[in-house]
Amino acid sequence: MEDIRVRIAPSPSGNLHVGTARTALFNYLFAKKNNGKFVLRIEDTDLERSNEAYTQNIFDSLKALGLNWDEGPDVGGNYGPYKQSERFDIYPKYAQMLVEKGYAYECFCTQEELEAEKEESMRNKTAHVYSGRCRNLTEEQKAQFRAEGRKPSIRFHVPKGKEIVFNDMVKGELKFKTDLIGDFVIMKSNGTPTYNFAVVIDDMLMKINHIIRGEDHISNTPKQILIYEALGAEVPTFGHLGMILAPDRSKLSKRHGATAVSEFVEKGYLTEALVNFVALLGWSPSDGNEIKTVDEIAQDFRIHEVSSSNSVFEYDKLNWMNGQYIKKLDLKVLAEKLKPYLTKYDLNELTEEQYLKMVEITREPLTLLSDITDDVPYFFGEYPEIDDEARAHIDSEIGQMVLKDVMSKIDGWDFNNLHQILEDFRTYFKEQGIKAKITMWAVRAAVTGRTRGADMCGIMEVLGKDKVKKRIQAVIK
């Protein structure tokens, strides 16, 4: 069997979308599972909408997800260049070849004439397909148009009365009637190729034999098959993935939350969790265990089992998964990953050891890495900001009594043995009829300015005796 070659062909007109990431992932998984090659091609022929920053974002996002390509603009390969804008000289000769063989023809229609045709169809309430009026122009007519200064586009001559049938790897057998496909433009009058043409030429020359992409491209596939056939090239095997919908079943968009991979990263998602989650949009593990690395998924991946229906992007599930991944991270790795979310604090206030301890005692409730930002302000600065609830505890009669008692004993406390000390301390108050919870509320409120947070012994250990004393002293009346 020939070697499997697949590709992802994003257009750099925005940051890498999770939908494109899912398409990239499924291609990558298919390649890995079949010892094939995964190619990255940047489709930047729309020079107005494409930009370098987006191309870089696509590279960075795919890499962050662990979807490394075997061939591409940066790593090269035998079938380059891998940026469409560097391939402009390739397309005209294939278009010319199709014209010579009678599969395509020059079309001199102006924009106005085409608009008029469309309006005519609308008036007649018929589906619009190009009339084909330039299909049989004589050489004289063409010369006449040229003399008028008209520049031709090149249209593909779609044979009428045929049915295009192909076996989609995901959706099964699909059929399209050519009568519903108008002769479509393959080269614009400015000499640049249209998407349908460029994609076929590139896939053909790059020897791509399996094309996995979103079903939003399904109506392009019969056109592309016609081009392959006209070129005498082998038609690749197609697989069209269902779309990804928002929880409200509408198209996933910014108003639902993050949509670009880099946005998810900024918000505090781990790329390992994101890629795992994205795999589940259409694929299910055979053993029912959803938490898996990309390598594990690749072993279990079968494109024919991918769901042909749409998938819903459940942010809640992603959040849950992200939390699971955070829990499993090695402490030091997590501590490093959290740093970008702690830039508003002066981390130099803590030694490496104190910082690790802080992460160790605050990691438990994290769903997103960014949750850390609001969970740790009291580890920094001299005094914490005190919220209303904490203030009430501090100012209460019992609160003041507890805090004064701490101050009278704290010099003798060994901060390496706080568990036992605080236990004894609680018991002492319990004997006087004060609940342990209330005792500790006062201490927590004074030291952190809050009534909830990480383990109290851990917090005191990180802050050290001097700071704890200072903070308690400051609120005693």
Q: Which residues are catalytic?
A: 254
Region binding ligand GLU by CB under 6 A among candidate stretches 5-13, 60-68, 122-130, 431-439 = 5-13
Tracing tokens 């519903």 back to the chain, one arrives at 180
Q: Which is nearer to ligand GLU, 207 or 217 (CB)?
A: 217
CB 159 within 8 A of CB 127: no
Region binding ligand GLU by CB under 6 A among candidate stretches 6-14, 109-117, 156-164, 404-412 = 6-14
Q: Which is nearer to ligand GLU, 33 or 217 (CB)?
A: 217
Shortest separation between residue 48's beta carbon and ligand GLU, angstroms: 15
Q: Binding of ligand GLU at residue 12 (CB under 6 A)?
A: no
User: Which helix or strand (DSSP H or E) is residue 456 part of?
Assistant: helix 456-463
Q: Which is nearer to ligand GLU, 43 or 272 (CB)?
A: 43
Q: What is the C-alpha separation between 370 and 341, in angstroms, rounded? A: 6
Q: How far is CA 407 from the centre of its chain?
A: 52
**CA angle 101–104–110, rounded 5-degree value:** 150
Phi/psi at 244 (nearest 5 deg)? Answer: -105, 120
Shortest separation between residue 10's beta carbon and ligand GLU, angstroms: 5
Shortest separation between residue 196's beta carbon and ligand GLU, angstroms: 9
**Maximum distance among all alpha carbons in the chain?**
110
Shortest separation between residue 215's beta carbon and ligand GLU, angstroms: 11
CB 56 within 8 A of CB 255: no
User: Which helix or strand (DSSP H or E) is residue 104 part of?
Assistant: strand 104-107
Tracing tokens 């001299």 back to the chain, one arrives at 382
Q: Binding of ligand GLU at residue 213 (CB under 6 A)?
A: yes
Phi/psi at 172 (nearest 5 deg)? Answer: 80, -155
Site for ligand GLU (CB under 6 A): how many residues? 7
Which residues make Cβ contacts (< 8 Å) with residue 347, sequence separation at least 6?
339, 355
Among 4, 5, 6, 10, the residue binding ligand GLU under the rule CB under 6 A is: 10
DSSP E strands in 242-373: the ranges are 244-245, 311-312
Q: Which is nearer to ligand GLU, 15 or 322 (CB)?
A: 15
Listed residue (354, 331, 344) closest to 467, CA to CA: 354
Q: Binding of ligand GLU at residue 461 (CB under 6 A)?
A: no
Residues between 148 and 207 that touch ligand GLU (CB under 6 A) = 199
Q: Which is nearer to ligand GLU, 282 or 453 (CB)?
A: 282
Q: Which is nearer to ligand GLU, 11 or 57 (CB)?
A: 11
Q: Binding of ligand GLU at residue 9 (CB under 6 A)?
A: yes
Region binding ligand GLU by CB under 6 A among candidate stretches 3-11, 73-81, 100-108, 370-378 = 3-11
Shortest separation between residue 194's beta carbon and ligand GLU, angstroms: 12
Cα 399 to Cα 9, 85, 93, 475, distances in angstroms:
64, 71, 85, 10
Region binding ligand GLU by CB under 6 A among candidate stretches 8-16, 287-295, 299-307, 376-384 = 8-16
| Six token digits for residue 8 | 């992802």
Q: Binding of ligand GLU at residue 106 (CB under 6 A)?
A: no
Q: Which is nearer to ligand GLU, 311 or 448 (CB)?
A: 311
Q: Binding of ligand GLU at residue 217 (CB under 6 A)?
A: yes
Shortest separation between residue 369's beta carbon and ligand GLU, angstroms: 29
Q: Binding of ligand GLU at residue 19 (CB under 6 A)?
A: no
**CA angle 450–455–459, rounded 5-degree value:** 75
Among 17, 43, 187, 240, the residue binding ligand GLU under the rule CB under 6 A is: 43
Q: What is the C-alpha separation between 228 and 395, in angstroms, rounded? A: 80
Q: Which is nearer to ligand GLU, 10 or 72 (CB)?
A: 10
Which residues make Cβ contacts (< 8 Å) with residue 184, sequence separation at least 6?
130, 155, 156, 158, 194, 196, 223
Q: Binding of ligand GLU at residue 61 (CB under 6 A)?
A: no
What region does 228 belong to: left with phi over 0, alpha with psi -120 to 50, or beta?
alpha
Region binding ligand GLU by CB under 6 A among candidate stretches 4-12, 171-179, 227-235, 396-404 = 4-12
The length of the chain in residues reads 477
Region binding ligand GLU by CB under 6 A among candidate stretches 7-15, 282-290, 364-372, 409-417 = 7-15
| Six token digits for residue 278 | 């994205």
Q: Binding of ligand GLU at residue 11 (CB under 6 A)?
A: yes
Q: What is the C-alpha separation between 181 and 185, in angstroms, rounded? A: 12
Residues between 349 and 378 that touch ligand GLU (CB under 6 A) = none
Name the site residues for ligand GLU (rule: CB under 6 A): 9-11, 43, 199, 213, 217
